[in-house]
Amino acid sequence: MTQMHPFHESARAVPDRKGIALFRKRVLSWFNKNKRKYPWRETRDPLRVHIAEMMLRRTKADQVKPIYERIFAEYPDVESLAKAENKRIEDILYPLGLRWRTPAFSIVARQIKERYHGKVPENIEELTALSGVGTYVAGAVLSLAYGKKEWIVDSNIVRLFRRY
């Protein structure tokens, strides 16, 4: 009898520890060989992670990188971003075609400033209470910025599991 791959459709719904460890090892090995360098991967600043995730929705990472750097060169913290004029943010985001998202950047910064005294929340309930923040962005902020174990599942992750 041939041994079934731990994530094969006919296998148990939940793989065993060995299968999970093997999968994790392979994914991390692939990532370490193929990862691209992005500034949001090199920070644990929750605001920068949050803004990056907002920009990365339906946008290629290579296109986001220069705009991300430009936003934080002009608006390095919650205070300055909360005070930013929508027109200026719109001008910065223009190359990404994100004009329709412009107000979200200022609104979220103001909410963080006013509700949480300028500190990005550290729990899913408060993060998802922010304007335009869903479970994916909240999970990314909690996991990447705060080092908490949270789910971050998007279409790329689903595709990875299906292929594996």
Using an 8 Å Cβ cutoff, are 121 and 143 in contact?
Answer: no
Using an 8 Å Cβ cutoff, are 79 and 47 in contact?
Answer: no
Q: Is 74 a catalytic residue?
A: no
Q: Which of 105, 110, 97, 26 is nearest to 63 (CA)?
A: 97
Q: Which of 53, 69, 74, 79 is catalytic?
A: 53
Contacts of 129 (CB under 8 A, 6+ apart): 121
Which amino acid, one-letter code, is at 70? R
Catalytic residues: 53
